[in-house]
Amino acid sequence: MIHRFLSLIALLGLGLALPASAASTLDKVRAQGTLKCGVVGTPEDWTKADLHGPLAGLYTEICKAVSVTALGGKAKVDLTPYATEAEAEAGVAKGEVELVVGVTPDATTLWQRPLVFGPTVFYDAQGFLVRPDVHATSMAGLAGKRVCAVEGTDNDRILQAQGKLRHIGWVALDWQEEGEMDDALAVGRCDAVSAYLSHLAELKISYAPISRDIILPDLLALAPAATAYRADDAQWGRIVDWTIHALVQAEASGITQANVALQATNEDPVVQRLLGTDWSASRALGLTAHDWAAQVIGVVGNYGEIYDRTVGEHGLLKLPRGLNALWTNGGLMHPLAVK
């Protein structure tokens, strides 16, 4: 009797779960015919929050990729820009968007909001931009130099802590706003500034007085930018995650926007699974199109192509791949198996 009772409870539980399944995020996106996606933009420098450079172009391409996975050839994206990561996280938690791109994973956010963080799409890091007349080629060369940061930010706190930890002895100076700090570097009141690489790259390109300043190879801390979505739909999380894994695997396998159609005869089992020769990945994600990844690559290209045209050599920031290179090339970008 006990076993029958437990079985009945389990069946009732399954029955109660069916309405939630029917109202999945994928169903919602398909019903509205578009993916509502939030991207974190560049805030005003006085906010002292999320002081990255302009990465929204890369984030937008990730939104497009996920929309193709969900909607196929009829994919559309309704973009919502958020000034800060906190606003973006609140937006997805409240259901304003189904996905946000450009937030930094942390435990406190998971505790405060019903969110899950997906894969990293860009590894930012705190580094140094140095005046050429300082003649510093490494962090050690900043001993005794005036190194500036925006007061009250993580950049500021990490700069001061790392200076003591490494016994380098730079003179850490605080500024109230990014713009003031940048001007101070230009006129020599700072010998170097410490900020995220994306911001330092933006400065070199957009601010002529410091265009010849040097970004050092030394880094103080990582600041990954990832995706986030609500925690109550595991299927949607898998769709977002494996779309990104597919973009990275495509680059690793040499599959590009231009040659994806020709790769159908590739005998590499990794490529075959990625492009849908078998249906295992599509079934696992709850998709009807077995070639979903091929469709995504055909629209946005692989991760390397996206990086290059948005923030890389042919993009806004001219950033080298660095940490965002494939794991096979010394970087941190690596996929989970698409199968």
Of 47-56, 92-101, 121-130, 249-258, give the lowest mean pLDDT range. Answer: 47-56
Confidence of residue 279 (pLDDT cuts 50, 70, 90): confident
In single-letter form, the type of residue at position 257 comes to Q
- Partners of 79 in the beta sheet? 37
What pLDDT is attached to residue 61?
Answer: 98
**pTM (whole model) above 0.85:** yes
**Locus of tokens 């410091």:** 210
Question: What structural domains does the chain harbor?
Answer: 126-220 (3.40.190.10)
pLDDT (mean) for 232-248: 97
Report CA-CA distances (Å) from 272 to 33, 262, 266, 301. 29, 12, 7, 17
Strands (E), 219-261: 221-230
How far is Cα 46 from Cα 84, in angstroms, rounded to an integer?
12
Confidence of residue 240 (pLDDT cuts 50, 70, 90): very high
How far is Cα 312 from Cα 307, in angstroms, rounded to an integer?
6
Confidence of residue 47 (pLDDT cuts 50, 70, 90): low
What pLDDT is attached to residue 42?
Answer: 66
Cβ-count burial 60-75 (b if 16+ within 10 Å, e if not): bbbbbbbbbbbbbeeb
pLDDT in tens, 62-109: 999 999 999 998 899 999 999 999 999 999 999 999 999 999 999 999
